[in-house]
Structure 1
Amino acid sequence: MRKQLHYILFIVLFIIYAACYQDVLSHIIFYQEQHHLFLFSTAYFTHSLHTEGWMSWLTDFLIQFFHLPLLGSCLMAGILSSVYLLVRFIIYRITGKRDLLQLALLPSLYLFLQTVSADASLVPVVSVWVSLLVVAVYCWLLSPWLRKLHRLIPDISLKPAVYWAVTVIVLLMYGGGTFYKFLQKYDIREYRMLKAEQAVKERNWDDVLMQTEKYLKRQANNQLIFYFRNMALYHTGQLLDHLLDYPLNMGVKALYFPWNSDSRESEYGHFLYEDLGYINEAQRWEFEAMVVWGETAPHLLNLARYNVVNKRPEVARRFINLLKQSLFYRKEAEQLEAALHTGKVPGLRAPLADVKESPARFANVLNIGPELQYLCEKDSTNRMAFEYLMCDLLLSNQVVRFVDNLKYMRHFDYPRMPRLFEEALFMYRSGVGEEEFSKTGYSVSPETEERFKHYYQLYQQKDMRKLRLEFGNSYWYYLNFVSPYGNKIIAR
């Protein structure tokens, strides 16, 4: 069994690594694949060699297979576990002795720990792996000369019981140390954010809610998490009931990303604008992201899609032609190419495509409010624009403008007045009086009035714990205790 131990360790390492990349490190496989694109073209090959080198080119070649998560996990596990075998082979060829302390495990474990962070480059891992392959081949070719060294190195013979005792202790030390360092380096917040992003791209809104809920229950506020969560709430029909389940201390920024020229944020802005049907703005975000992150598959696909629906076939074709040179995105590229003459992409709507502006209108990149107002005016069927506009106005304390824009609600089949809307209407009525409020044509249910009486009773008693537990998700609580814009209604 001593002679077969290295094969057993290799299999154990492979299984552990593959399981990690399929589970707790699955976000690494996703992130790496989304930020690299390998193209089968001479131009790409030449450019890669001149700008990044052989190892980067080879790394991108391997990363393209991460498109299939199971294959990507097995590929990473195979590379890392084979590092152990290669080091063990080199040690044996040079010394002629067995690796009693299992030192060959250390490079493999070290490289594994370097992949725990999504931002970590895989180029060093591939470089070490290739270098070890080359050294192993040389050691094999030079075996006759290396045997002369074997006589210079003394034999260390251990009794079986001692050998296994040393082996077990060493393996426990390496395993325990690696696990400890893994826990130190592993970032569960990064995992939740990337899994939420993956779910958004897959339109799996229930999974988005699950990932963001788990994040918010353990961590402080995060704009990206709220951004994804609110999109998922809308798509599952829960936005107006659960918007304030968690304190939105950032106000309206929980709904969108203002343009801050931030390289990291540039990847996310297009999601909302695409769902709103504001394709020009979605395209601007994606183009900026491509400038930062390069011509990766997600950016090329989206830019192709947006230009198809905006009826710019030649621009779309430029991105499609690049995707056709890839292994796993060729089919999607061909589908988009077939849609060039129709100008329609499944799941993508462009309600403003035929709106003629005179003079030209420029988007407000710092405040989404005017864009939502514009969408509601130009497309009365845009329910998402309406709900986001209402939420934007409520979160910015603009209750008067909220009431002014309730007129758009008649275009949609709400079974009842949403709870948040009624709570805001109650605040508006308290400010303008019954006579003025009656002119709006809206009403507040008796249930809402009773709830406010209980809220106000707890407020007077200064029972903040109970107030937060019972009314933490109400608009009244947000306005009084959470809003970053103060606790007063903004008139206009």
Structure 2
Amino acid sequence: MKYKLVAFWLVVFGALFAFLQTSFEYHFYYIEQSQLFLFSKTYAMEKLVLPGGLSMLMAEFLVQFFILPYAGPAIVAALLTGVGICTAGIVKRIAPSSALFLLYVLPVLALLFMHFDFNYRVQGTVCYLMMTAALYGYMQIRKDLFRLVAGCVLVPVLFWLAGSVALLFAGMVCLYELLRKTPKWYISLIGMAEVLLLGLGVVYFSLMGEYRWVFGPDLYYHNTLHPKSVIYYSWICMPLVVLVAFFLRNKKGLPAKRLIAGICCVGQLAVIGGILWWGVPKFSDAKTLRLKKLDYFARTEQWDKTIEECKGKLTNFLYMCHLNMALANRGELSDKMFNFDQRGPQGLLVQWNKSENISCMLSDIYFTMGATASAQEMAFEGYVSAMDDGNPRMLKRLVQTNLIYGAYPVAEKYISILEKTFAYRDWAGAQRKYLYNDEAVENDPVLGLRRRMLPEQNTLAMIDGLNGDLERFLKKGPANSAAMQYLGAMYLLAKDLEGFKAVVEKYYGTEFLPVLPLHFQEAVIVMSEKEPDYWKRFNISETVVNRFAEYKKQVLANRNNSAALAGLLNRSYGNTYWFYFMFK
């Protein structure tokens, strides 16, 4: 029998791991960057003095390993399997003969749905596991009085170690004793009173800011947001599981006949499959999975994979921003941007909404452009808006930008923080060679380039708009081609031909723009279609001229079929600025 149980839970763990790894691999890389764990006594003590502090430390310790391949799915699968094992122990304690394994799996599924939300803290599952383990241990105590006293002791301990889940534990103790008709069962109500008094106390003394964090699962969600109702499903499941288990306590197990037993098993599996079929699409927020993948590619500078991922139709400006950043890093934005689905200047730079994910992406884009001031500002916003103690990825950016500015004491402070982490300490240690060493910074291909692009006098970022900043960067030298690429792309995507004309007339033939890129040549023809002599000033290639002639011929031939014109031209000319200018 024990071997069957081991095999069952190994299958559960394997299924959870395989599902999470194949469908949500990049989700775990994404949430790792929102929680900063430090190997520091001071850091640990600041957590431990708060209700739920130990569970928070445990969760953040686990989350730091999510940056490693396979680690996130394996850790979450192990936590969920642990919850299932403890729930099975609770059910077996109440109804030893029950073979309704569906009861063990329900809390696991409810928690699984929460893990799809990147604003959910892994702490919530750690605490739920602690609660189910405590409840199982509580039920193993056979003497009623000892058990009731143990419950009264466990409630405040669990409250301080795991937070608000102590309320669920206290409620389950009361329900269990009431259903068992234990003499003096009302002693268990002391646990509920303890939670109430402790909750009121921690809010009164400002250890916690809101009652919803003290008396509900909201504690295990981003503290500036309100979670969806799915966060309560796991809390609702546990009392339902116990009630059903009590109803089945005098029932026999599966029928002896294999056929009927098989039907019962298949029926339960069908219910589990139905719950997954309903819940996974509803709660997985599939539209963010692609963005998380692109975020990981940007973080690891896998620009080819970003470009490959963005082929085909794009309807999200965030995808376009990642695509165009990848093209700029490859030096291909001005030649290949219209090979992809472009839909306006927001595809270069979306509007900041003060969220962590947008701040991080904008910091990456600005850093690509060479806009160090804006990259630093967005990095700081991304760092402080992280779920817990900061965003380590943006802390790296703050190190870089402060080294660029020569603010070495600030950079050293950030380096010292990163040196206390698991995943970033080696990188942080490598940055110490730049501290108080201007020559090393200036010789670095990344830091030195951006230091040379800094304005001679400190000026506010965006004081003349992004295009004004980009022009200031160009005055410092031609080394960063991304600034010119973005400047031209901004005007082309906005269909601002006057602005584009001013740029090409100013910079063409200089070291900044010795040759016009392909899409720039196409735009020159658009803005001076009836002036072929003007094209010669920019050395427009014969290939581009001939292709435009064919394009114009196709437009004139099909001008009476306006409804189908875009579709007809898209096949041969969808990758040109001419097509974008006319139809997008």
TM-score range, shorter chain: 0.7 to 0.9
Q: Relative to structure 1, is the Cα distance of residues 30 and 224 closer, same or farther in structure 2, using a 3 angstrom cutoff?
A: same
Q: Which residue of 1 aligns with 2:316?
A: 222
Check the 8 A contact 2:477/2:512 in 1, yes or no: no
- Whether 1:457 aligns to 2:457 is no
- Whether 1:323 aligns to 2:440 is no
Q: Relative to structure 1, is the Cα distance of residues 188 and 332 closer, same or farther in structure 2, using a 3 angstrom cutoff?
A: same
The 2-side partners of 1:298 and 1:60 are apart by: 15
The 2-side partners of 1:232 and 1:254 are apart by: 12
1:364 to 462, 465, 489: 462
What per-residue deviation string (whole Å, max 9, x for no partner) do you get for residues 337-369 of structure 1?
Answer: 233143546662343535785664322178421
Partner of 1:353: helix, strand, or coil? helix
Check the 8 A contact 1:230/1:239 in 2, yes or no: yes
Q: Which residue of 2 aligns with 1:272?
A: 365
The 2-side partners of 1:12 and 1:356 are apart by: 57
**1:154-169 equivalences in 2 (<5 Å):** 154-157=250-253, 158-161=255-258, 162-169=260-267
Q: Which residue of 2 aligns with 1:120?
A: 120
Q: CA RMSD in A?
A: 3.1
Q: Which residue of 2 aligns with 1:298?
A: 393
Q: Relative to structure 1, is the Cα distance of residues 142 and 327 closer, same or farther in structure 2, using a 3 angstrom cutoff?
A: farther
Q: Which residue of 2 aligns with 1:236?
A: 330
Name whichever of 437-446 and 314-323 sits farther off.
Answer: 437-446
Check the 8 A contact 1:88/1:99 in 2, yes or no: no
Amino acid at match of 2:23: V
What per-residue deviation string (whole Å, max 9, x for no partner) do you get for residues 281-333 of structure 1?
Answer: 21111112222225221121211122123222110111111112222322222
Check the 8 A contact 1:352/1:378 in 2, yes or no: no
Check the 8 A contact 1:36/1:60 in 2, yes or no: yes
Q: Which residue of 2 aligns with 1:248?
A: 342
Partner of 1:430: helix, strand, or coil? coil
Q: Relative to structure 1, is the Cα distance of residues 82 and 356 closer, same or farther in structure 2, using a 3 angstrom cutoff?
A: closer
Q: Shift of residue 79 of structure 1?
A: 0.9
Name whichever of 77-86 and 95-104 sits farther off.
Answer: 95-104
Name whichever of 462-471 and 357-366 sits farther off.
Answer: 357-366
Q: Which residue of 1 aligns with 2:63?
A: 63
Q: Shift of residue 106 of structure 1?
A: 1.2
Q: Shift of residue 399 of structure 1?
A: 2.5
2:527 to 422, 428, 432: 428
The 1-side partners of 2:86 and 2:398 are apart by: 44
Q: Shift of residue 60 of structure 1?
A: 1.2
**1:89-488 equivalences in 2 (<5 Å):** 89-142=89-142, 153-157=249-253, 158-161=255-258, 162-213=260-311, 217=313, 221-249=315-343, 251-259=344-352, 261-293=354-386, 294-343=389-438, 344=440, 348-351=446-449, 353=451, 360-364=458-462, 367-406=465-504, 408-410=507-509, 417-430=516-529, 433-434=531-532, 437=534, 440-443=537-540, 445=542, 446-458=545-557, 460-461=559-560, 462=562, 463-464=564-565, 465-482=567-584
What per-residue deviation string (whole Å, max 9, x for no partner) do you get for residues 189-231 of structure 1?
Answer: 2110000010011111121123333xx53xx521211010011
Q: Relative to structure 1, is the Cα distance of residues 441 and 469 closer, same or farther in structure 2, using a 3 angstrom cutoff?
A: closer
Check the 8 A contact 2:32/2:66 in 1, yes or no: yes
Q: Shift of residue 159 of structure 1?
A: 0.8
Q: Which residue of 1 aligns with 2:225?
A: none
Partner of 2:447: helix, strand, or coil? coil
Check the 8 A contact 1:425/1:444 in 2, yes or no: no
The total of aligned residue pairs comes to 472
Q: Relative to structure 1, is the Cα distance of residues 352 and 11 closer, same or farther in structure 2, using a 3 angstrom cutoff?
A: closer
The 2-side partners of 1:5 and 1:348 are apart by: 57
Amino acid at match of 1:45: A
Partner of 2:529: helix, strand, or coil? helix
Amino acid at match of 1:156: K
Amino acid at match of 2:419: K
In the alignment, structure 1 segments of 5+ residues that lack a partner are 483-492
Q: Relative to structure 1, is the Cα distance of residues 310 and 413 closer, same or farther in structure 2, using a 3 angstrom cutoff?
A: closer
Identity %: 23
Amino acid at match of 1:335: A
Q: Shift of residue 59 of structure 1?
A: 1.6
Q: Relative to structure 1, is the Cα distance of residues 355 and 424 closer, same or farther in structure 2, using a 3 angstrom cutoff?
A: closer
Check the 8 A contact 2:453/2:477 in 1, yes or no: no
Q: Shift of residue 78 of structure 1?
A: 0.8
Q: Which residue of 2 aligns with 1:37?
A: 36
In the alignment, structure 2 segments of 5+ residues that lack a partner are 148-179, 181-245
The 2-side partners of 1:58 and 1:366 are apart by: 48
Q: Which residue of 1 aligns with 2:20?
A: 21
The 1-side partners of 2:300 and 2:574 are apart by: 32
The 2-side partners of 1:459 and 1:143 are apart by: 90
Partner of 1:268: helix, strand, or coil? helix
The 2-side partners of 1:439 and 1:422 are apart by: 11
Q: Relative to structure 1, is the Cα distance of residues 58 and 382 closer, same or farther in structure 2, using a 3 angstrom cutoff?
A: same
Check the 8 A contact 2:338/2:576 in 1, yes or no: yes
Q: Shift of residue 155 of structure 1?
A: 4.7
Check the 8 A contact 1:208/1:228 in 2, yes or no: yes
Q: Shift of residue 163 of structure 1?
A: 2.7
Q: Relative to structure 1, is the Cα distance of residues 235 and 52 closer, same or farther in structure 2, using a 3 angstrom cutoff?
A: farther
